[in-house]
Amino acid sequence: MRISTKNRMLTSSLMSTRRQFVQSAAMAGLSTILPASATKRFDKPAMDATKPYSSRTPMLQLQQQFMDLRFGMFVHFNMATFQDREWGDPNGPTEAFDPTDLDTDQWADAALSAGMGYGCLTTRHHDGFCLWPTKTKAASILQTPKKLDVVKRYTDSFRQKGLKVGLYYSILSLRDDIRHFNITPAKIQLIHEQLTELLTQYGKIDLLIFDGWDAPWSRIPYSEVPFDDIYRLIKSHQPDCLISELNASQYPETGLYYSDIKAYEQNAGQEAPSDSAIPAQACVTLTEGWFWKLADSNRPLKTVDQVVNQWLVPHNQHHCNLILNAPPDRTGRLAENVVSRLKEIGKAWQNPGPAAKLDDNVIITTPNLATGQTIHANSYPDTVGPDLANDGKFDSDWYPDFGLTSGWLQLTFKHPTLFNVVGIVEPVGQYQDYEKSRIGSYRFEAKIDGAWQEIAGGQVPHRVQFHRTEPIKTDQVRFSFEASADTPHISEIGIYNEP
């Protein structure tokens, strides 16, 4: 039966949440599992030999080491802690940030008691207050009574205890007026300078979590504050630092969009898929919200059973770590009820050892070059055009007429275009009656020197299937397939030029 484009039911993984799934104007690609014969790593730019982290560990090895950690501590501690809010008031006085007994050693000890292997501190949240003495003109601990460099205290404590060190940074900054339609080169430069400070002054940073980027509530797309530029900046300072972008979870769950480690904000209803083979982490809170509230002293915490048996153990079975938020209070210490609960969790759970082996995945950091280009197809059913397969939206798709056993889509660029990754998105699992791939085999071809040449292909794609290729420059690309079931759908064609 042909699938109507109307009245489709989305699966629970696409349910509406605080971070509702929206499509950015700068669409990018996905990851895929590649057969060994198709796997090829591109040479990375040579790093400055004078920098302390100029060597690079293979990405797959870094991802595997991260998954072996299994469990981490998210530490939401910033201006909002002292204002009893989830987002700090950007108009509030910086003097409000005044921990009376900052004890990052206690945080690290509590993380160890729970069996955690890494932490992540909110160095700058959405209001824009910086927990380190930034030399930029942004609001920071330099304008507070004690001028405590919280980032240094945290990184020193966690590293000394043998824990991996992660930092959180929000692209959205209300104090600096960094918001949608108001981005300037100077504001992008401020972001670059602050990230450079964080990556050059505090030793080895193992993980960097981004937020406030391409979110429905911030609306700053990856094109406005260019993701690929910042990705390169981070890797130039610390090539082994893994990147996890919280809002990239809105993209199909079987692909690594804008992330080395995919992230799911479970508090907002996002669920990591049980059959995904990409490295991921799920973010949850021990308290009711992200930042400590005065009422948290008397409110119940998440139970040990919920954290261990409902979250941690199931996630660990499916290439997904759990990062549990344990927020310090206004003293700068974890409250006693939080410390006790973390110890209870540690008694109920032990790291089971190395995680299941990951497959190599393509990581996409650049826009989809196919979006909006001229596209034709072998079939034009009523109300359905091939432009639905390159409109930058994953909830629309093209399909051939009922009964056809093969099909093709052909892209024509306005001028010869350079690329090195191609891919497709098929809506497997997105609709109730589309539970598995309907494609039996497929291939990509490029027109080179006036003749079509096959550049990639395979059998029965995953929902997301992407392939690296040798660098190719052409003005025409064709995707063709043989069907394994009636009416295959194509959500998106992907063409990317990855660094």
pLDDT at 26: 33
pLDDT tens-digit readout, 7-21: 333 333 333 333 333
Q: Which of 16-20, 164-168, 426-430 bottoms out in mean pLDDT, i.e. has the lowest?
A: 16-20
CATH 2.60.120.260 intervals, the chain: 12-24+363-496
Query: Is residue 194 scored above 50 in pLDDT?
Result: yes
pLDDT at 55: 54
With H, G, I as helix, E, B as strand and everything else as coil, classify residue 167: strand
Where residue 94 falls among pLDDT bands split at 50, 70, 90? very high
Sorted by sequence, the CB contacts under 8 Å of residue 247 that are 6+ apart come out as: 19, 210, 211, 212, 213, 214, 215
- Using alpha carbons, select from 255, 248, 313, 311 the residue that is nearest to residue 279: 255
Task: Show contacts of 46-54: CB within 8 Å, 24+ apart.
Answer: 47/236, 47/239, 48/236, 51/237, 53/204, 53/237, 53/238, 53/239, 53/240, 54/239
Task: Provide mean pLDDT across the span 160-174.
Answer: 98
Task: Provide mean pLDDT across the span 60-77.
Answer: 97
Q: Are 261 and 242 in contact (CB under 8 A)?
A: yes
Cα dist. 49→54, 237, 241, 254 in Å?
A: 6, 11, 17, 36
User: Dihedrals φ, ψ of 219, to 5°?
Assistant: 60, 30
pTM of the model: 0.86
Tokens 């079509």 belong to 452
Cα dist. 206→235, 261, 359 in Å?
A: 11, 12, 21
- DSSP E strands in 191-267: the ranges are 207-211, 242-245, 256-257, 262-265
As a whole number of angstroms, the distance between CA 354 and CA 425 comes to: 31
pLDDT at 87: 96
CATH 3.20.20.80 intervals, the chain: 40-348
In the predicted model, what is the mean pLDDT of the chain?
88
pLDDT tens-digit readout, 111-155: 999 999 999 999 999 999 999 999 999 999 999 999 999 999 999
Could you tell me which residue, 47 or 465, shows the higher pLDDT?
465
Hey, which residues does 268 pair with through a beta bridge? none
Query: Is residue 109 scored above 70 in pLDDT?
Result: yes
pLDDT tens-digit readout, 11-53: 333 333 333 333 333 333 333 322 322 322 223 333 343 344 4
What superfamily would CATH give domain 12-24+363-496?
Galactose-binding domain-like (2.60.120.260)
The percentage of residues in the chain with a pLDDT greater than 90, rounded to a whole number, is 79
pLDDT at 386: 97
Where residue 429 falls among pLDDT bands split at 50, 70, 90? confident
Could you tell me which residue, 268 or 295, shows the higher pLDDT?
295
Query: Is residue 307 scored above 80 in pLDDT?
Result: yes
As a whole number of angstroms, the distance between CA 455 and CA 472 comes to: 9
Where residue 1 falls among pLDDT bands split at 50, 70, 90? very low
Q: Which of 23-32, 174-183, 432-441 bottoms out in mean pLDDT, i.e. has the lowest?
A: 23-32
Give the CATH architecture of domain 40-348.
Answer: Alpha-Beta Barrel (3.20)
Could you tell me which residue, 344 or 21, shows the higher pLDDT?
344
Measure the CA angle with vertex 125, ends 246 and 156; round to 5°.
95
